[in-house]
Every structure is written in structure tokens, then in C-alpha cells.
Amino acid sequence: MKMSTFKAAGKLSLLALTLLVAALLLVGCGGEEKKEAAEKAEPAAPSKVTLKLAMDADPVSLDPHVQLSGGMLQYAHMVFDPLVRYDKDMNFVPRLAESWERIDDLTMRFHLRKGVKFHSGNDFTAEDVAFTLDRLKKSDDFKGLFEPFVGAVVVDANTVDLVTKKPYGLVLNMATYVFPMDKKFYTGTDDKGKEKDLIIKTDYSFANENESGTGPFVVTSREQGVKTVFTRFADYWNKDTGNVEEIVLSPIKNDATRTAALMSGDVDFVMPVPPQDLDRIKSTEGLSLVTMSGSRIITFQLNQKRNPAFADAKVRLAMAYAYDNQGVVEKIMNGFATAAGQMSPKGYAGHKETLTPRYDLEKAKALMAESGYPDGFEATMIAPNNRYVNDEKISEAFVSMMSKIGIKISLKTMPKAQYWDQFDAMAADIQMIGWHSDTEDSGNFYEFLSMCRNAETGYGQYNSGNYCNAKVDELTLAAQTETDPAKRAADLQEVEQIQYDEAGYIPLHWQNLSWASKSNMNTEAIVNVMNFPYFGDLVIK
């Protein structure tokens, strides 16, 4: 009895399976025919202009104040729109602020665009700017950036003053972070009885799941980590702009898959492009590749307190001379980085043209002989292995280059989840760090990476080299309250020069940025060095 049931069941399921496989095959073929038919029918009925976009990650929340990260800023530019933003040459261009003027040392007045609507239908006014600034000052991630501000003072419905505690040279830089949020929409309590304007990182909040900005796109559906659909906002103030009506954003984490999705036509636009696929995409017809030198500096910090040898400026200089920046860029980064002799990339106020990478092994050896360590010494080193592009390989190259001048380094690499605790604890003599200035200004590099460590003020928080020079501190602080751009730039450039002369750290390179898309769109025009593509301006022909 049992045996026969089993047999019957087996036969039945075998039959069912065979049918299923046959069906699968049929379905596959059927789909193909349909696709071809659709392609043929396309010219007759012009459909909605949709951009299928693949990035390595998607925004972590719909609340632009919940986290300060590249992904969130990319999102904010699509959905919220800032007071001002950068153009390709890093000039400030008007967005929701039509013009601005300095009233006095502490006050900058912004004249706001009239007739702007939020996604909720509410009108945009100066009240919303004041609300947004207050909220920024409450956000864990943004309050540091907005610490110099007293707040926003509403003059009239379309005029607002940003007031700082001290004279501050970066008011406009900070205004690029002011993405006005809809005060009416975010005020009150939601149906769970919670305040709508709460900023919560790890749990539900109204703002994490609902948005109302003034930006070109409205979020119409979102499944975190899977798919987000943005639809063109019908009442967007700027009619003279891109023609994309819908953006479907899929995060594709795997590099090879992201490239394949573009090559197969499943997506129209990918960012970033994995370095190993650059040549392929460049040589594929119908695709266009845009690359640009980025602004994230990668450096090695030499801990002078842990290893006395690094307190000797000649040793540090010798190491700077022994490191072949260009060689690493070409051989390890496949040319996809820009060799650096300083922290500030081109375009930043502190950038000094003359501070180029210096590779001269003979000079390095001579410096070592002159130093207090003619026979070399030993050092420990840590680096992440999944944080920066090729971080592990670069570290290995560094170790072998230093061995040529007698410095024996024992290297340990680890995933970033473990790395940062070790970095903070300054667990090794040499530590790697990459840094992007979130003010798009040189001062930020020095405040975090090269000012003397000070637990109270927070300066030098990521200066694990314990490099300390009173002049650097003085100039960096002076630049903070300097509102004359020329004078500021002179101060900042002097800091770069001092660090260069003393080899306060070893600069490696700036990572390049990359975007690839189908060639029927103006990709080149919408991307920039901050890596916030202005998708609102994208035109698909």
C-alpha cells in the first residue's frame, strides 16, 4: 500500500516537474518574441522617459538629516534641492536662493525664489529655511557642520538671514547643505503619536518614510535595498531643465553585475564604474564613460608618539621620497586615481600647484643616512581591506617600497567593521585613512587630520599620526573666521606648504570618480567632482 502510494506520488511529481520545465522553456521563448515585438512597436508610441539607474547603494532613509553620506546627498539633490549648489567648476549657483549678499561680518542674506511649491502642495517660504536650519542643528550628523551658526532669521516670506557666531568664510559652502524641508508637512504628530520632525537613525520615524521637498523628483515607491521609484514633480519650479519623467533606482552592490546590467541594457546609468571595467565600457558602442579626478585623499599617517623614528622629520621626508605615487596610480589603480603631493585637490582653496608628488629613491636613501636611523628600523602598520579602492594592495606596495630604505614594516589588514576601532585606538605606527572634505574646503582636512589632537575641541580627531605644528593650528583657525577668500586661500596654502616640507603624513592619491551611461544622454553635463549627479537636469534624447 505504502509502496504504491509512494510510487504514484513519485510518478505524479515527475510528470509535474517535466511540465514545469517545459513551461519554463516556453515562457522564456515567448518572452523573447514579445520583447522583439515591443522594440519594433516603440517608435509609434512615445512612452514615458524613464531612467533606469544602478548605484552601489541606495539612500538609507528618506530623511535627509538622518545621515551625512554621499548616498544621502545624492538623494537630497533629487528630492529636496538646496539653497545653492556647486557647478562643475565649484562655483556657487542659485537654486532656491536666487541671490545672496553679505550684510555684515556675521550675517548673510538670502533672497528666496518665489512661487516654489513643496511636493505636499505647500508654498515654500523663509519659515521653511529657518525650520530646516533648526533641524540640522539637532541632527547628530549635521550639528557639527552647523555649529558656527546661530540660526536663521526670517526677514520676510522670501528673505532669510543666516547668522553665525563668529565671522565665517564657509556660509555658502554650508548653504549647499540646506535642503529646505516642508515645515507644515513635518510638524505635528503622526498616526503613531510620534513627533513628525524626529530624527531617528535605527527605528521608524515619520521623516524616515515620508518626504516633502521642493526637488525635481518625488519618491513614489520605495523598498529599501531593492528599488526606489522617483517621479518628476509636476510643479517643480524649474521648467527649463531635464526631461526624465521617472527614475527607477536599483542598488547593485556587486561590481561585475553592475557593469553587466549596463552592458545588457537592463539599466541606463551606473555609478560608480569598477576600475577593471573602464576600458570595456569605453570601447563599447552606444555607451559613454565619464571620469573625473575626485576629492577623496588617501593618506598614511605616521604615529610620532608610538614610534620615535617618525618624530624625526628626515625619516618622514625620506618615506615621502621613497613612495612612488605615480607608479602606484598606474600599476595598482589602473590609472584610475590622481597622484597627490598634498591633501587639497585641484579646485580647493588650499591647493598649491607646486606641491607635486616627489619620488626619488636616491634622495630618500640619502635622507635616511642623514637621519637618526641610518640603518633603518621596524614599524607596525594597519589598513582596511574593503574600504578604499585597492586599499590592501596599496598598503602592500607601500611596505615593499619602504623596505628599500631599510624600514621593515609588519602590515595587518582587516575589514572596515574592525578597522575603525583599531584606528581610533591608534593600534599601529602607520595607519591608513581616506578623507573627503564635507565642506568641500581644505580647512576641513586640517581640522580633522593634521591639527594637534585635542579631545576637548575635537580638533585632530582623526590625526592618528600625532603630527602637531602650532603654525598649522594657528593658520587653520584663522581661516575659519576669515571671510576674504583671497586671504583665506593664502592661509590654507601655507598650511599645505608646511605639511609638505615637514612630511606630516604621506599623501597617496585622490580616488577618481566614474559614471557610465547609454550615450543618448548628457551625462557629462550633470556629473561633478562632489559626485552628486544632478539627475533633474538629465536629458535623454
Partner 1 sequence: MFAFTVKRILQAVVVMLVISFIGFAIKHNFGDPIRDLVGQRVTAAERSEIRDRLGLNDPFPIQYARFLRDALHGDLGQSYFFKKPATEVIVKKAPATLELVFCAAMIIVVLSIPLGIYSAIKPKSLLSRFIMGGSIVGVSMPVFLTAILLIYIFSVELHWLPSYGRGETVLLFGWWDSGLVTLDGIKHLIMPSIALSSIMLPLFIRLIRSEMMEVLESEYVKFAWAKGLKPRRVWLVHAFKNTLLPVITVGGVQLGIMVAFTILTETVFQWQGMGSMFIESVERSDTSLMVAYLVFVGIVFVLVNTLVDIIYGLVNPTVRVAGRQ
Q: Which three three-digit cell numbers place residue 388?
A: 578604499
Residues with Cβ within 8 Å of 34's Cβ and at least 6 positions away in sequence, in order, are none
Binders of partner 1 among 446-465, rule CB under 8 A? 448, 458, 461-462
Catalogue the E-assigned strands of 362-472. 377-384, 407-414, 430-435
Please say whether the beta carbons of 409 and 399 come within 8 A.
Answer: yes
How far is Cα 77 from Cα 463, in angstroms, rounded to an integer? 31
Shortest Å, Cβ 252 to partner 1: 5
Closest to 269 in 3D by CA, of 527, 528, 529: 527
Alpha carbon distance 244, 263 (integer Å) = 21
Q: How far is the CB of 9 from partner 1 (least distance, A)?
A: 11
Give 404 or 416: the residue with its C-beta nearer to partner 1. Answer: 416
- Where residue 440 falls (left for φ over 0; alpha for ψ -120 to 50; beta otherwise) is left
Judge whether 282 and 289 are in contact, CB under 8 Å. yes
Among 123, 127, 141, 246, binds partner 1 (CB under 8 A): 141
Q: Residue 117 forms beta bridges with which residues?
A: 123
CB contact set of 354 (below 8 Å; sequence gap of 6+) = none
Contact between 60 and partner 1 by CB under 8 A: the answer reads yes
**Strands 377-384 and 407-414, bridge-based pairing:** parallel
Q: Which is nearer to partner 1, 195 or 494 (CB)?
A: 195
Is 263 among the residues that bind partner 1 (CB under 8 A)?
yes
The answer to the question of residue 27 lying near partner 1 (CB under 8 A) is yes
Query: C-alpha grid cell for residue 447?
Result: 581640522
| Contacts of partner 1 in 221-260 (CB under 8 A) | 224-227, 250-254, 256-257, 260
Which cell goes with 507?
A: 599623501
Q: With contacts defined by CB under 8 A, how many residues of the chain interact with partner 1? A: 64
Which residue from 221, 268, 269, 217 is spatially nearest to 241, judged by alpha carbons? 217
Q: Which is nearer to partner 1, 2 or 48 (CB)?
A: 2
User: Binding to partner 1 (CB under 8 A): which residues in 154-213?
Assistant: 200-205, 208
Q: Which of residues 289-348 bind partner 1 (CB under 8 A)?
A: none
d(CA 411, CA 463): 19
- Does residue 69 bind partner 1 (CB under 8 A)? yes
| Residue 97 main-chain phi, psi, to 5 deg | -95, 125
CA distance 380 to 464: 13
Contact window for partner 1 (CB under 8 A) among 11-19, 104-112, 306-314, 337-345? 11-19
Which one of the spans 62-70, 286-294, 300-308, 342-350 is the region binding partner 1 (CB under 8 A)?
62-70
42 binds partner 1, rule: CB under 8 A: no
For 488-499, b/e burial (b = at least 16 CB within 10 A) is bbebbbbbbeeb
Binding part of the chain for partner 1, among 24-32, 309-317, 336-344, 394-402 by CB under 8 A, reads: 24-32
Query: What mask of x and - would describe binding to partner 1 in positions 83 to 122, judged by CB under 8 A?
Result: ----------------------------------------
255 and 41 Cβ atoms separated by less than 8 Å: no
Q: How far is the CB of 426 from partner 1 (least distance, A)?
A: 12
The interface mask with partner 1, positions 394-433, x = CB under 8 A, is ---------------------xxxx-xx--x---------
Give the x-and-dash track for 350-389 against partner 1 (CB under 8 A): ------------------------------------x---
Query: For residue 361, is it left (φ>0), alpha (ψ between -120 and 50) or beta?
Result: alpha
Chosen residue from 83, 145, 397, 538 binding partner 1 by CB under 8 A: 145
Sole binder of partner 1 in the list 8, 12, 32, 276 (CB under 8 A): 32
CB of 391 to partner 1, least distance (A): 15
Mutual angle of helices 485-502 and 313-322, in 10-degree steps: 90
Gap between the Cα atoms of 465 and 302, Å rounded: 5
Task: Report if residue 438 touches partner 1, rule: CB under 8 A.
Answer: yes
Residues 464-493 that bind partner 1 (CB under 8 A): none
Instruction: Single out the residue of 51, 65, 67, 297 in contact with partner 1 (rule: CB under 8 A).
Output: 67
Q: Using CB under 8 A as the criterion, which residues of the chain lie in contact with partner 1 when the complex forms?
A: 2-3, 6-7, 14, 17-18, 20-21, 24, 27-28, 30-32, 54, 60-61, 67-69, 140-141, 144-145, 200-205, 208, 224-227, 250-254, 256-257, 260-261, 263-266, 386, 415-418, 420-421, 424, 435-436, 438, 448, 458, 461-462
